[in-house]
Structure 1
Amino acid sequence: MNKFFIRCIVFMLPLVGLLSGDIFMSLDVFTHRPWEALLFKSNKTMYFYPNQNLTKQSVGDLCHHTPFAIKKNENWITDKLGYRNNTFIKQADVLIIGDSFIVGSSITQDSTVTNLLTKKLNRKIYNISPANFVDFIDLLNRGEIEKPKTIIYSLNERGIPSPIKLSEQTRIMEDVSSFSVFKDKVTRLYSLKYLNSRLNGKNGKGVPGTIDSSMFFLNGKEEKYHYDKILNVAQTIKSYKDYCESIDVDFIFLPLPIKETVYFDKIPLKMQPDYLLKLDSVLHKNQIKTLNTLELFKNYRKSNSKLIYHLDDSHWNANGVELIASKLAEYIRKSKY
């Protein structure tokens, strides 16, 4: 019997040692980028752990754990609501609602669109990303934030905006104590998932381009575009604009092209997808303020060879963010406020 228990203990020791890593090691030890390291899995009202300052050498989402992965230094700072901001701002001049592009996946803190706009405009810029428009309304109703002067709603062209469906009562903010963060960190079981991934040789599932095999895409030629949903997308965006007008807030829509669209010739595709160009036309007919970001990137590529998306990631790089931030700053300066 004693030998049996001894064998069990010997067998369990490596597992216990591995699981102890979830308890005692840093948040990012079993992840390839800060996004997963800070992910608050058990909290439904907060996306990332709050009040964090994490610096990590990361790689992109498309070919991690392969020879094509490119190491980058990323610093992430989250505020008390778990959003990626240097500091919490209750009443911003400009509030940005967006997805992983606005969060700044594979971008260090100083190069996020939020921080670049802050420097260019010298105004209070705050983002609640990743989020949808109803999340903004919910934060407003809870009194967590106050209405800004301008809202920028951003969406990459894969996304479909959600219609405004207000619940009967405001959601209650979940517990965000240090213990709840600790409990989430332990119960994520990242150590076991990491071990399983390494044993099974899992890596990024990006698709290499045919013209340039060092440039990876999320879907490549298999990318689907929502041409049949253009009118519905525009109508939903218009409902966001109408809501903002009802509370006396200026509204700007910022559509962002995906890598497949910008670098269509590297996949290659015969023609550049024009989904965003067609959407832009419909938005203007509905008198919605919007930026033609695809046209901006197209014009840039005509005279510049410097990349605006990461080779090993589906998101834009610091150069791409700079282009958008400069155009946004110019656009906002010309706006009514």
Structure 2
Amino acid sequence: MPPAKQDRPLLFCSLIAAVFIILIGIDRISPAVLPKDSYFYHPWEYMMGSFRYNIPRTNEKMELTGYGDLANMLGVPGYQVLRKFVWTNDRYGKRNSSVTQHETPAVVVVGDSFMVSAANSDEESFVTQLQTHTDASVYGYVPADMSVFLHDLRFQEDPPEVVLWGRVERNTLGSNGEIETILKDTSCFTEISEWNRMEKTSKDTVKALIGGFTEYAQLSILRRTMQQSLRHMLYAWTGQHTKNVLLVPGETMLFHDRGAAVLSSPGKERGFSAVADAVAHVRNCLKARGTRLIFMSIPDKEHIYASRLGREVPTPDPLLVLEQELDNRKVQYVSLVKRFQEESTPGKDLLYWLDDTHWNARGIGVAVEEVIKKLEE
């Protein structure tokens, strides 16, 4: 009589369950023991609270080795340009190194991720470089929308002499949400009740209290590793990759699909009249406080390196069309596009990172030179 076949489904299921429990345990312990480099490709997400309701960290410095946002989206290590980051947030949650943490600054920089210098270390940031080239005290109210700056009581009570407002080209469109918000304003963002301010402060306090747990719950070393590995394998086996990143055969520079889409749009289709109206409104609001506004539109990487993308910039240059609209409204601005085009010819060092949408230290330095000229006028 043959021996009975041993059936051990319970043991098999127990082993599978044990593996899953161990993996989950490793995944949950990892945020407390692994370096931040394991989860973040550069400091922006961590320092500005991307996983904790966008409540930025305060009085904190972060150091890590990272790479660019386009390389992160692509997930192919060969395109990563590794570099060391130092990122410091002040007590207000704004990015400022020790040399720019002024309480009553003469010059305040307001703007998006370009003005915060998301792809650069503290010593290379726009605010720090500007401070090293002027005797006036410089402060970075970055990152922030202009509407947020205008209703901040801190700078209503102690207005600076100059506000430099910078926006990257792809965010300088008539359809942009911030531009639309400014155009709807009728009070220079001062008609905000004390109750509304208290309500916002209370909400932010609650978010900050539970933000750490929320961030911890979202961080997953297994998900991060698998996501990047799958992107790399897909690219290696099929050549396919995320549509957000544009690859040009034989080209080491990565491009962003949104920047390329904006490049295809001529100036007359970008709603620059509305943009100029919004900037003029901000100019008038600040003028009433005794503050001078200087606006700066930063060219997209795809605009300056259009030839490397195999494209051409529309004629007339869209940013020159915007500048004409600003001239018509007598708005003071810093013009970068011609200078950047001159500085981006073959043989010259790059103005933007190969693996990132943002400008590098040299690009920031060139922009700072133009800003200093305008400040001295």
Task: Determine if the TM-score, normalized by the shorter chain, exceeds 0.5.
Answer: yes
Shift of 1:233: 0.6
Maintained 8 Å contact 2:58/2:90? yes
Q: What do the CA deviations read for 1:136-177 (whole angstroms, capped 9, x no partner)?
A: 023x22679832111011101111343334455333262289
Report SS of the residue matched to 2:38.
Answer: coil
Partners of 2:130 and 2:313 in 1: how far apart?
33
Q: How many matched pairs? A: 331
Q: Which residue of 2 aligns with 1:38?
A: 47
Shift of 1:192: 4.8
Say which of 61, 82, 89 aligns to 1:53: 61
Shift of 1:127: 1.3
Greater helix fraction, Structure 1 or Structure 2 = 2
Maintained 8 Å contact 2:283/2:331? yes
> Given the alignment of the two structures, is residue 265 of structure 1 paired with residue 303 of structure 2, yes or no?
no
**Structure 1 residues 241 and 70, CA gap change in structure 2 (3 angstroms):** same
**Structure 1 residues 143 and 237, CA gap change in structure 2 (3 angstroms):** closer
Q: Which residue of 2 aligns with 1:85?
A: 96
Shift of 1:278: 0.4
Say which of 308, 314, 319 aligns to 2:351: 308
Partners of 1:193 and 1:146 in 2: how far apart?
46
Shift of 1:182: 3.2
Partners of 1:314 and 1:36 in 2: how far apart?
15
Shift of 1:178: 8.3
Maintained 8 Å contact 1:53/1:76? yes
Q: What do the CA deviations read for 1:224-256 (whole angstroms, capped 9, x no partner)?
A: 546430101110111110110111111000110
Shift of 1:281: 0.9
**Structure 1 residues 180 and 23, CA gap change in structure 2 (3 angstroms):** farther
Mind listing any 5+ residue stretches in structure 1 that lack a counterpart? none
Partners of 1:44 and 1:19 in 2: how far apart?
20
Amino acid at match of 1:102: M
Please report the TM-score for the alignment, with normalisation by the length of structure 2: 0.79
Shift of 1:24: 3.6
Say which of 154, 166, 180 aligns to 1:154: 166
Q: Which residue of 2 aligns with 1:189?
A: 219
Report SS of the residue matched to 1:130.
Answer: coil
**Structure 1 residues 144 and 199, CA gap change in structure 2 (3 angstroms):** farther
Q: Which residue of 2 aligns with 1:62?
A: 70
Amino acid at match of 1:198: Q
Maintained 8 Å contact 1:21/1:191? yes
Partners of 2:208 and 2:288 in 1: how far apart?
38
> Given the alignment of the two structures, is residue 128 of structure 1 paired with residue 141 of structure 2, yes or no?
yes
**Structure 1 residues 89 and 42, CA gap change in structure 2 (3 angstroms):** farther
Partners of 2:83 and 2:157 in 1: how far apart?
33
Report SS of the residue matched to 1:56.
Answer: strand
Moved more, 246-255 or 9-18: 9-18
Maintained 8 Å contact 1:83/1:129? yes
Maintained 8 Å contact 1:55/1:74? yes
Maintained 8 Å contact 2:52/2:208? no
Maintained 8 Å contact 1:27/1:185? no
Partners of 1:98 and 1:31 in 2: how far apart?
23
Q: What do the CA deviations read for 1:113-144 (whole angstroms, capped 9, x no partner)?
A: 10011111022211122211111023x22679
Report SS of the residue matched to 2:165.
Answer: strand
Partners of 2:149 and 2:53 in 1: how far apart?
15
Shift of 1:180: 4.8
Moved more, 222-231 or 88-97: 222-231
Report SS of the residue matched to 2:36.
Answer: coil
Q: Superposed, which structure 2 residues align to 1:104-143 within 5 Å? A: 104-138=117-151, 140-141=152-153
Partners of 1:157 and 1:36 in 2: how far apart?
22
Partners of 2:201 and 2:303 in 1: how far apart?
40
The structure that has the greater radius of gyration is 2
Q: Which residue of 1 aligns with 2:277?
A: 235
Shift of 1:22: 2.0
Partners of 2:301 and 2:43 in 1: how far apart?
21
Report SS of the residue matched to 2:71.
Answer: coil
Maintained 8 Å contact 2:283/2:293? yes
Maintained 8 Å contact 1:34/1:54? yes
User: What's the RMSD between the two structures over aligned residues?
Assistant: 2.8
Report SS of the residue matched to 1:320.
Answer: helix
Partners of 1:150 and 1:333 in 2: how far apart?
12
**Structure 1 residues 145 and 320, CA gap change in structure 2 (3 angstroms):** farther
- Aligned identity (percent) is 18
Report SS of the residue matched to 1:175.
Answer: helix
Partners of 2:260 and 2:106 in 1: how far apart?
41
Partners of 1:215 and 1:234 in 2: how far apart?
32
Q: Which residue of 1 aligns with 2:5?
A: none
Report SS of the residue matched to 1:102.
Answer: helix
**Structure 1 residues 208 and 201, CA gap change in structure 2 (3 angstroms):** closer
Partners of 1:175 and 1:221 in 2: how far apart?
39
